[in-house]
Amino acid sequence: MAPVEIKENLFWVGAVDWEIRDFHGYSTNKGSTYNAFLAMDEKVALFDTVKKTCRSDLLHNIRKVTEPAKIDYVIVNHVEMDHTGTLPELIELAKPEKIFCSAMGKKAMVDHFHREDWPYQVVKTGDTIRLGKRSVQFIETKMLHWPDNMFSYIPEDRLLISSDAFGQHWATSERFDDEVDEAELFMHAAKYYANILLLYSPLVQKLLKSVQEMGLAIDMIAPDHGLIWRSGLKKILEAYDRWSRQETEQKALVIYDTMWHSTEMMAKAILAGLMEQGISCRLLNLESTHRSDVMTEVLDAKALVFGSATLNNGMLPRMADMLNYMSGLRPAGRLGAVFGSYGWSGEAAKQIHAVLEEAKFRIMDPALRVRYVPTHEDLRKCVELGREIGKAVKE
């Protein structure tokens, strides 16, 4: 990829990672990008870097615009290594006058790179620096999603460089939202929110309100992953508002894992009952559905119905993985139900129930358990459970 001028004399100089398929547990099945931006002004400023494995893309792109040694300021909006992996090499080449970061950013950089001697300048919300014709205003966004995160706002360009927020893991040759399929773009943005930001939803709500109160004029949001928002600004801001309020649809998921298809038979019967109620529903077999794709569906689903067979006095491993992952992301205000087949002890249902209780789900009791293989009568009860869940979703 070559640099792309996103505003006059302000260039995207990041990297497209076509091959990454796993981002610490998130299935990036269409790759990702690490976005970095270079502002050419009286002071030359680089906003963020890229993952270490993509170092040559960043350096190549910078060199197409200027020499790294000409960079005066490096602005580190976030220290996670997909954005700072190339920082030590860049600092060596550029020898910048200053590295701007939040207080927690400085601490995290010292802990990552063990360099107390770098020219850090700590900034906080409201601090502004001048590059020449343009200025940069900083907005701390603590815990979105690390303590060090911040935004950089350039009023003269009406540009918000938003670090991880508003990102998507999607490798494309296009750089702007209006150059790609909108439905696919929003699917990737939703997946990103569900898997990275969902647990910080109360903070996202606060941030959206404070950005509104600050009255920032914005016509472009440039995240550190994926496409840059310019035509779909209103839509993505509305989506973040909806997602962070944990608004759900009349939608139910049947999420299950099975040993000898008995739990699967139950899952399909529950699905039939849900479908009778005319709500949107999905059947998600954990053998074939990645945990991060399940989370994308969880984002707007009102009811989550979990089923597992019992193995070694517990739930199946993929279900334990799913529940552990989902609990960490804290979906709120959901309705839950539990089912499963077992042979002689049947602890899986009790364990799933306990997880849902801890996650403050409104649980439909009792769990529906079947010994070994469901009878016609058992499956009729499953259909009935589906109907009851469907009615509750519509309440």
261 catalytic? Reply is: no
Considering the rule CB under 6 A, would residue 82 count as an interface residue with ligand FEO? yes
Least Cα distance to 75 among 42, 35, 116, 45 occurs for 45
Encoding tokens for residue 365?
């009791």
Q: Is 120 among the catalytic positions?
A: no
Check residue 157 for interaction with ligand FEO (CB under 6 A). no
**CB under 6 A: which stretch of 35-43, 78-86, 250-258, 386-394 binds ligand FEO?**
78-86
> How many Cβ atoms from other residues are within 10 Å of residue 57's Cβ?
21
Residue 367: both structure tokens together: 């769990």
| Shortest separation between residue 110's beta carbon and ligand FEO, angstroms | 18
**Bridge partners of residue 139, in order along the sequence:** 151
Q: Count other Cβ atoms within 10 Å, centred on residue 226.
A: 26
Q: Is 26 helix (H, G, I), strand (E, B) or coil?
A: strand
Quick one: which of 48, 80, 148, 378 contacts ligand FEO (CB under 6 A)?
80
Q: Is 164 a catalytic residue?
A: yes
Q: How many CA atoms does the CB half-sphere of 50 hold within 13 Å?
A: 25
- Could you check whether the bond before residue 119 is cis, i.e. omega within 30 degrees of 0? no
Q: Catalytic: 188?
A: no
Q: Would you call 153 a catalytic residue per the annotation?
A: no
Catalytic residue among 34, 120, 192, 193: 192
188 makes contact with ligand FEO (CB under 6 A): no
Asked if 51 interacts with ligand FEO (CB under 6 A), we say no
Q: Is 225 a residue of the active site?
A: yes
Closest CB 334 distance from ligand FEO, rounded Å: 26
- Among the listed residues 7, 83, 230, 334, the single contact to ligand FEO using CB under 6 A: 83
225 binds ligand FEO (CB under 6 A): yes
Residue tagged active-site, from 140, 164, 264, 378: 164
User: What's the number of CA atoms in the CB half-sphere (13 Å) around residue 253?
Assistant: 21
User: 41, 157, 164, 177: which one contacts ligand FEO (CB under 6 A)?
Assistant: 164
224 binds ligand FEO (CB under 6 A): yes
- Closest separation between CB of residue 86 and ligand FEO, Å? 13
**Whole-angstrom distance, CA of residue 116 vs CA of residue 31:** 34
What SS3 class is residue 177? helix
Nearer to ligand FEO, 80 or 297 (CB): 80
Residue 118's nearest CA partner among 105, 131, 136, 135 is 105
Instruction: Answer positive or negative: Cα dihedral of 40, 41, 43, 45.
Output: negative
Calpha distance 301→364 (Å, rounded): 16
Nearer to ligand FEO, 83 or 302 (CB): 83
Q: Which residues are catalytic?
A: 24, 78, 80, 82, 145, 164, 192, 225
Binding site for ligand FEO (CB under 6 A): 78, 80, 82-83, 145-146, 164, 224-225
